[in-house]
A and B are shown apart, each in its own frame.
Chain A
Amino acid sequence: MTEASPHGAEPPDAEVGSLAEVLDPSRIRLSVSEARLLLTQLLSPAFPIGSYAYSQGLEVAMASGRVHDVETLQDWIEGVILFGSARIDMALIAQARAPGADLAALAALALAYAPARERAEELRDQGAAFAACARALGLDIPDLPYPVALGAATSSLPLPDTEVLALYLHSLAAQLTSAAVRFLPLSATLGQRLMARLAPLIVTQAQSAPELTSAHLAADLAAMAHETLQPRIFRS
């Protein structure tokens, strides 16, 4: 098993060139079913972007006891998805998927909306690792902050934004749930039950019009406080 360095993916293998020609959706149109599988792959926890290393401030909320069981975890994750930084991410993903998107401008926008230094590093480092691996699959995208990279990589897939956004929100919820299962006395089964409970909310939210707004002050404060949290096991 190879693990991604949080500061960049491993160097691409030598045979990547031929693989690229097979998978490049701009040259060979993927069917909807194939595109769906590729999207699932890109957003899977196994895709080497190191998402297991980031809690987006949740570690502070857990260390302080504010998030301490499955109910308080659900409150926190729902807050992130409905009213937190996921809204900003969704808007950036959707804009990056649009034809003719100005990716450089969206990259600057994504970093400007980072609520804290570690979140900016997370956006940048995860985005670079994502882009490196996406290129190895034949998706021709430059290094970009993560949501912009995800939007750019999926822009040519024959899938609606709502599907990409729903799977993105699901992967984010899974990332936070996984962080909580490792930090709290919380069983993996309870974590999975929570993931299943979040499905209707994820589907509904993915259909909302994305906006560059948020209301999760507690998460922003936590993301800032994380810089000085000791001890800590996550990078954000």
Chain B
Amino acid sequence: MLDAAPLIPMQRAKGRAHAAFALKGGTRLADLRQQGSAKVLLPRVAGDRPELVFLNTSGGLTGGDLLELSLDLAPGTKLSATTQTAERAYQSPGPAAQVCFRARVQAASLHWLPQETILFQDSHLTRSTEIDLSGEAEVLLCESLVLGRHAMGETLTRARLTDSRMIRRDGVPVWAEGQMLSPETLSRPVLLGGATAFGVLALVARGAEDIPRPPQTEGARLELSAWDGRALIRIAASSGFALRRQMAAVITQLSGRALPRVWASGGTP
């Protein structure tokens, strides 16, 4: 919307980070590119699955920001990737902030476990997540959304979000969803059923349809549906804290390992 653009251009953050991994006696970094506000951290962890942490140094997302993150996993590699902290989508007059995450997972295993995104009043975010699996590749993905700053008693009534996710195997869509929020949807309580924080987990892997139902934790409602090599879990929660606790319990069970370490230090305000 050109006519809504401010006369003095605001400072926009751009960031792009890409990391590739190959099998060389274990999963090893093969390529790393970082530019603008996007950074990559590789903390030392024990075990055969390295952790990668994306960091957005601009401190949050506002209108016109562009953040592009991508990963490339060569056959045989295993990676757990996350974000340094909760992402904040700030008030955004004008165009949407845009976040794109892409991953190519070739007969490899990716856990993409970003921390939650907190939508502020009047935020405007467009995000797309695309994961391409090939061969026997598998992915565990989670996404968490918190509506408003709960500690400040904020009730979100005006925010715009288009959040699309797509997982393909050998080019064929396996799981997809497009979550949208707008002032109109936020004004209809029936849609979110009273939840102020919600999240989704998807496991696409051989045998995913047989996972046991994870236990439900306090303040959260969890539902599971699993079929044909995929398991979906949706969580509706009464607070960002309750969502994080439930999400952590499910991730620990599904991944069979501890949470990425930065999850312990991040958190919903």
Contacts and interface: CB of A to CB of B under 8 A. Distances in A.
Interface of A: 66, 72, 75-76, 78-79, 83-84, 88, 108-109, 111-113, 115-118, 120, 211-218, 220-221, 223-225, 227
Contacts of B153: none
Contacts of A214: 177-180
A217 B194 CA distance: 10
B180 A220 contact: no
Contact of B185 (A72, A83, A224): A83
Interface in B138-183: 162, 164, 166-167, 172-182
Contacts of A109: 173, 176
A53 B226 CA distance: 21
Q: Is the interface of A mostly helix, strand, loop or mixed?
A: helix
A217 B178 CA distance: 11
A117 B174 CA distance: 13
B243 interface: no
A157 B13 CA distance: 49
A112 B232 CA distance: 12
Nearest to B188: A79
B269 interface: no
Interface of B: 162, 164, 166-167, 172-182, 185, 188, 190-193, 195, 198, 221, 223-228, 232, 234, 236
Contacts of A218: 190-193, 236
Nearest to A72: B190
Contacts of A75: 188, 190
A115 B181 CA distance: 17
**4 residue pairs, one from A and one from B, having the closest CB atoms:** A213-B178, A112-B173, A224-B223, A218-B193
B172 A224 contact: no
A127 to B, nearest CB: 16
Contacts of B174: 112
B188 A212 contact: no
A220 B191 contact: no
Contact of A66 (B192, B193, B226): B193
Which of B177, B185, B225 is packed against the most chain A CB atoms within 10 Å?
B225
B225 A211 contact: no
7 contacts: A79-B190, A112-B176, A115-B177, A116-B232, A218-B193, A220-B234, A224-B232
Contact of A108 (B162, B172, B195, B224): B172
B181 A215 contact: yes
Contacts of A72: 190
A235 B182 CA distance: 32
Contact of A216 (B172, B191, B226): B191
Nearest to A224: B223
A118 B224 CA distance: 12
Nearest to B224: A224
B221 to A, nearest CB: 7
Contacts of B223: 221, 224-225
A83 B221 contact: no
A215 B180 CA distance: 5
Nearest to A106: B173
Contact of A215 (B179, B224, B226, B236): B179
Which of A84, A108, A112, A216 is packed against the most chain B CB atoms within 10 Å?
A112
Contacts of A111: 173
Contact of B180 (A108, A117, A213): A213
Given A83-B188, A216-B191, 18 more contacts: A66-B190, A66-B193, A79-B190, A108-B173, A109-B176, A116-B232, A118-B225, A120-B227, A212-B178, A213-B162, A213-B178, A215-B181, A217-B193, A217-B198, A218-B192, A221-B236, A224-B232, A225-B223
Contacts of A225: 223
Contacts of A118: 225
B195 A217 contact: yes
Given A75-B188, A218-B190, A211 B178 contact: yes
Which of A66, A83, A84 is packed against the most chain B CB atoms within 10 Å?
A83
B197 to A, nearest CB: 11
Contacts of B180: 83, 211, 213-215
A218 B193 CA distance: 5
Nearest to B167: A112
A225 B225 CA distance: 8
A221 B221 contact: yes
A99 to B, nearest CB: 22
Nearest to A121: B227
A111 B228 CA distance: 11
Contacts of B179: 213-215
A224 B178 contact: no
